[in-house]
């Protein structure tokens, strides 16, 4: 296919820049090395993160697409850049938890790493200003963030993503502790997976040692942040990062 040229900057988020293209149905997304945590109270740079996140997201979007989940992904057009379908992002962050960690372990006072059965799927309202507050279905519908039908699609989509990623990552010695997904709607209303699936948005632990190989190294000042990202890239998408 012909790759449409980059147009104007439409939106700059904490981790990515979104540009229009000559095709109004497509946008180009550049993954940044900038890192933030705790709703941007902590800021820094993780060298090479943009390329790692673009490579890992490309591979994991392929894996979930093969499992039948529709995504916005079209092509990786540069080491740190994707061409994707333009969507309206649904302001619901979908959090999938196979183990308790992070805010969940803190909220319920349980051990970090506790296995969760069944897997927990939660909604947060996508709002940095409010700190992405957790919400239930009624809140999301009453405040107009999503319809009942969309929440159904989000739940089924997130469960399917988890089912596809768990065995793929297990084969690569990675324990998928939890992750965050965002979905969007195409002009015809179809809900598709959007955003990214990367060490910024997932907790990946080494399956053998429990070592954290994701953004928690930055959040918690564990050191060797770049090495963690490179290790995830090497296991998931080695050929794409060079």
User: Which residue stretch of 38-46, 140-148, 181-189, 233-241 sits at the interface with ligand ASP (rule: CB under 6 A)?
Assistant: 38-46
> How is 67-93 classified by DSSP, letter by letter?
TT--BSEEEEEETTEEEEE--EEPSEE
- At 26, list the tokens: 């497509």
The reply to whether 185 sits near ligand TMP by the rule CB under 6 A is: no
First-to-last alpha carbon distance for the chain, in angstroms, is 23
Secondary structure E strands in the chain: 6-12, 16-21, 26-31, 34-37, 42-45, 73-78, 81-85, 88-89, 92-99, 115-125, 134-135, 174-185, 191-194, 202-206
CA 231 to each of CA 5, 34, 45: distance values in angstroms, whole numbers, following the listed order:
32, 19, 17
- At 169, list the tokens: 């990552």
Distance CA 207, CA 106 (A): 22
The reply to whether 153 sits near ligand TMP by the rule CB under 6 A is: no
Subset of residues 197 to 216 that bind ligand ASP, contact rule: CB under 6 A: 215
CB proximity list for 231: less than 8 A, separation 6 or greater? 213
User: Which residue stretch of 15-23, 61-69, 113-121, 172-180 sits at the interface with ligand TMP (rule: CB under 6 A)?
Assistant: 172-180
Q: Find the shortest distance in angstroms from Cβ 178 to ligand ASP.
A: 11
Q: Which residue lies nearer to ligand TMP by CB, 77 or 146?
A: 146
The reply to whether 161 sits near ligand TMP by the rule CB under 6 A is: no
User: Which residue stretch of 2-10, 25-33, 201-209, 221-229 sits at the interface with ligand TMP (rule: CB under 6 A)?
Assistant: 201-209
The reply to whether 103 sits near ligand TMP by the rule CB under 6 A is: yes
Subset of residues 22 to 81 that bind ligand TMP, contact rule: CB under 6 A: none
Q: Which residue lies nearer to ligand ASP by CB, 59 or 219?
A: 219
CB proximity list for 68: less than 8 A, separation 6 or greater? 160
Distance CA 98, CA 182 (A): 18
- 102 contact choice in ligand TMP, ligand ASP, none (CB below 5 to 8 Å, kind-dependent): ligand TMP
Number of chain positions touching ligand TMP (CB under 6 A) = 12
Q: Which of 58, 80, 175, 178 binds ligand TMP (CB under 6 A)?
A: 178
The reply to whether 203 sits near ligand TMP by the rule CB under 6 A is: yes
Q: Which residue lies nearer to ligand ASP by CB, 67 or 120?
A: 120
Residues that bind ligand TMP (CB under 6 A): 95, 101-104, 132, 178-180, 201-203
């Amino acid at each position: 296919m012909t790759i449409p040229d980059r147009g104007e900057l439409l939106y700059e988020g904490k981790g990515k820049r979104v540009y229009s293209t000559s095709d109004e149905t497509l946008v180009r997304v550049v993954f940044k090395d900038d890192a933030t945590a705790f709703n941007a109270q902590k800021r820094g740079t993780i060298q090479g993160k943009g390329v790692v996140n673009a490579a890992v997201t490309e591979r994991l979007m392929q894996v979930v697409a093969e499992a039948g989940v529709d995504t916005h992904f079209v092509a990786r057009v540069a080491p740190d850049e994707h061409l994707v379908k333009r969507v309206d992002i649904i302001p619901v962050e979908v959090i999938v938890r196979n183990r308790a960690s992070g805010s969940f372990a803190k909220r319920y006072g349980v051990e970090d790493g506790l296995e969760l059965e069944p897997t927990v799927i939660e909604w947060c309202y996508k709002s940095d200003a409010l700190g992405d507050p957790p919400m239930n279905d009624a809140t999301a519908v009453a405040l107009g963030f999503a319809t009942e039908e969309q929440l159904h699609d989000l739940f089924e989509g997130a469960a399917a993503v988890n089912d596809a990623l768990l065995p793929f990552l297990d084969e690569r010695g990675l324990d998928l502790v939890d992750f965050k997904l965002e979905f969007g709607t195409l002009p015809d209303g179809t809900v598709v997976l959007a955003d990214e699936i990367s060490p910024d948005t997932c907790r990946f632990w080494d399956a053998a040692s429990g070592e954290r190989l994701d953004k928690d190294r930055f959040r918690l000042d564990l050191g060797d942040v770049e090495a963690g990202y490179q290790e995830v890239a090497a296991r998931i998408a080695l050929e794409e990062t060079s």
